[in-house]
Amino acid sequence: MPARTPPQQPPTWTHSAAEIATGMADLVKQAKDVQDSVAAVESPEWSNVIVPLSASNNDKYGLVNRLTFYQHVSTDKEVRDSSSKAEELYRDFDIESSMREDLFKVVSAVHEQSPEVDAESKRLLDKMNLDFTRNGLALPSETRTVLKDLQKKLSNLEVQYGKNLGEETGFILFTREELAGVPEDVLSGFSEKDGKLKMTFKYPDLFPVMKYAQNPDTRRRAFVGDQNKVAENGELLVQAIKLRAEIAQLLGYSTHAAYVLEERMAKSPEKVLSFLNDLREKLTGEGKTEITKLMTLKTDDLASLGYPPEDVFNVWDYRYYDRLLLEKEYEIDAQKISEYFPMQSTIEKMLGIFEILFNLDFVEVTGADRSVWHEECKQFAVWKNDSGKDEFVGWLYFDLHPREGKYGHAANFNLGPGYTDKEGKRVYPVTALVCNFSKPTATKPSLLKHDEVVTFFHELGHGIHDLVSVTKYARFHGTHVARDFVEAPSQMLEYWCWQPAQLKFLSSHYLEPERTIDDDLIDKIVKSKHVNGGLFNLRQLHFALFDMTLHTTTDGAVDVNEAWNTMRQEIALMGQGNETTYGYGSFGHLMGGYDSGYYGYLWSQVFATDIFYTEFMADPMNTTQGLRYRDTILKRGGSREESDNLKELLGREPNNVAFLTELGVPV
């Protein structure tokens, strides 16, 4: 095959700290100049308001995303700091832009004209006008002044809540005897104080204690301590709930949840509550069955360790007995499984799955042609061949290993959305996976645990969404969909990591590449998928219903403490002795953008399962179904209502039957 030349060169990654600062300042100035020019238009119409504003927005997103990306991946602290400051500069500009009354007037004038434009353009105009309205610009000036003051107070509360959480330094001192069962490699990382071991509330300390400590009182103290670690945040949340309710009323919404959900797929609090309560009703029976099984395990365990019997399964027992059940009944050995998933061959085979499903071709760029921000990065030119000729899709990057100063989790970053520019030419997307998988050693390649393979598939799902989306406007490109749908495509692709044939295909022992994973190991992996799935999802329902309880009142008057503790026992089905906990003080989602939105994790999972069961369960490698899914869901991005796309794909309204079936719950 002759060499293919991409029609768009990859970005360069050579910005210095000074160039990042200058680049963002120039970009903001250019965007502001466009806004000033548009705001001064005397006879607003589509061509002199929306066309220049949308073109400016299209052009700026890619550069903004790249300049602010350095803070997550650069090895140079000065560059990272400059990138963070560039993001602050852009956010400030974005907030100012969203509150410009002069821009709202001209956009609103065009909106009232109802110009004859294509469906995606009409959606853009509707969204632009709604953005200004939701910011209060249609209100009288004196009301806007009050609104701005309330929003500033709310923002300060949210920042302080996050700051308190980030700076939390609490700990509990335990004797070695009290920590019996916790692996020595964990305990060796604990510092000592007053002759005891110091367990902080950071996850690498807390979770092993909750999973392995044999002493039930140790688990209780660890759990309660963690729940109550930032007591001052409770009052900040109470104040925030009241402010949110007041702001919603000023903007003309009945509740804060009604305000938030207007732009989500769910649309209304009533629909969310109906969804959550229906799941709760159907999962409660399964949860009670799981509790009974865990309680039997607990009774035997306490007797064998010499502890007095207990007649309640408490919330601090869950991680310990969930782990014990997996070990005893399913014999899951994560290390042994990882030997079959060396990184390089797993990547090649994973991409091979997407090549078949979505008719894509991933061509790795090597040698001097690479344009990367770090030598460990992988770069791919991505192509498709739907109509007998090669079509370029976009650029894909993998940055997979930890290093100092790098983003510490796993995420997909859009580094440049696709769109049609003002000359009518296609601008192609650029997307990156940033992960933290173990590095190879002198004797072993990087080996992926099964949950890391799932993570890889999930994040690449976001990347594929970015790559194959084709929209006119950057605003709707790829993962720019309703927030309660954005995870569904990635959650759906996780199912390939649980299918026996696909697990066999993905595997290759690092010492004997021709040897694939044993069938008995595959069987254990698949059977362990939903162990205690009822209880896991009831815990999610506790969080989601608590969130909705806080945000569906007209005045924000909720007894937060009562709601948190009572709802956990009633929904999650677990006791908490005579303990009162204040876990809402460290429930960062509620003050970090997921207010009235926590339901989204379950909401999107239900859609993901429905899609997989309906379209792919019978034949996970069916290219015809893959292309149909690609073009109906992924290609359209946010350019159409997500519910309309889903209904078109499924041939009916989506439902939770597949989700419940997956969990083994009767429907």
CA-based torsion, 243, 247, 248, 250: positive or negative = positive
348 is catalytic: no
How distant is the alpha carbon of residue 410 from its chain centre?
Answer: 10
Q: Which two tokens mark 386?
A: 């739907």
Euclidean distance between CA atoms 120 and 184, whole angstroms:
58
The CA-atom distances, in angstroms, between 1 and each of 4, 5, 390, 489 are 8, 12, 11, 32
What length is written for the chain? 667
Contacts of 469 (CB under 8 A, 6+ apart): 418, 429, 477, 478, 634, 635, 636, 637
- Cα distance between residue 341 and residue 522, in whole Å: 13
Tokens of 567: 């709802």
Longest dimension (CA), the chain: 84
Nearest-5° angle of CA 227, CA 459, CA 392? 160
Q: Where are the alpha helices (DSSP H) in 269-416?
A: 269-305, 318-325, 334-338, 343-358
How far is CA 497 from each of CA 472, 492, 630, rounded to the nearest angstrom?
33, 10, 19
Which amino acid would we find at residue 364? E
Q: Cα–Cα distance between 454 and 264 in angstroms, integer?
A: 27
Q: List the catalytic residue out of 459, 487, 615, 642.
A: 459
Q: How many CA atoms lie within 13 A of 617 on its CB side?
A: 11
Give per-residue burial for 167-202: e unless 16+ CB within 10 Å, then b.
ebeebbebeeebbeebeeebbeebeeeeeebebbbe
Question: Alpha carbon 159 to chain centroid distance?
Answer: 20
From residue 77, how far is each of 19, 25, 71, 74, 374 by CA, in Å?
Answer: 15, 20, 8, 7, 14
Q: Which amino acid is at 289?
A: T
Going by the DSSP 8-state scheme, the letter that residue 490 receives in this structure is H
Token digits of residue 590: 């509620």
For residues 507 and 453, give the distance between their C-alpha atoms in angstroms, rounded to a whole number: 11
Q: Long-range pairs for 133-142 at CB < 8 Å and ≥24 separation? A: 134/251, 134/259, 134/262, 134/263, 135/98, 135/99, 136/250, 136/251, 137/99, 137/101, 137/104, 138/104, 138/108, 139/250, 139/251
- Centre a 10 Å sphere on the Cβ of residue 26 and count the other Cβ atoms it contains: 11
What is the C-alpha to C-alpha distance for residues 52 and 422, in angstroms, rounded to an integer?
9
Which residues form the catalytic set? 459
